[in-house]
Structure 1
Amino acid sequence: MPAAEELEDVHTRVKIVAALSHVHDAETVKALGYELKRSISNNVTRQLYTTILKELRSFPMELISEPVENLLAEKDFSYKIKKRIEELLEPEYDNFWRL
């Protein structure tokens, strides 16, 4: 499947991400990271990026830290997207209250 370019592609991928996100393992993290890596960031794909980043936040830090760091090193993202991805690596204050 080629990278998402049209809104229909984005909607299809959002459904795939939702299905994948029920399995919290390294392969799912790899697949989500790959989708971020190959998809361009623009107004059409914003929903896809938002969905993937939201799903990655639900994964344990041990699973996402290395793949996210590699993703940031391998692709040049816009400043705004880069900051949103880097936020995945920051400990969240509310996680304390979710325990």
Structure 2
Amino acid sequence: MQLPKKILMPVVIVLLLLAAAWAVYTYLQKESEPNSPDISVEETPIAVHFMENQEKVELGLQEDTRVQVLGRDENGEVISYKIIRTEADVVTNLESLNNEGNR
């Protein structure tokens, strides 16, 4: 049995549209999935050190400001620090700095 051209063309067009819609749907599903690596990275705990009052004054900070030292150079000079406003601001692992973004 041969289908008339009037029926065959719309059926083919509908099938092509369904295939295209399915391809777009699967592409968007893959794009919306979060990228998570197959490995888990252990957090690297760091020792918490706070800046001395003399160091705060040298950097132009108020003595009553709580400042955590994140890094020092080979001479022991502060090269990176974070002002602590609440206990939640204290950095306990380096990965938390990467996830923090710019606030």
Higher relative contact order (CA 8 A, sep 6+): 1
Class of the TM-score when normalised by the shorter of the 2 chains: under 0.3
Bigger radius of gyration, 1 or 2? 2
Structure with the higher helix share, 1 or 2? 1
Q: Normalization by structure 1: what TM-score? A: 0.21
Structure with the higher strand share, 1 or 2? 2
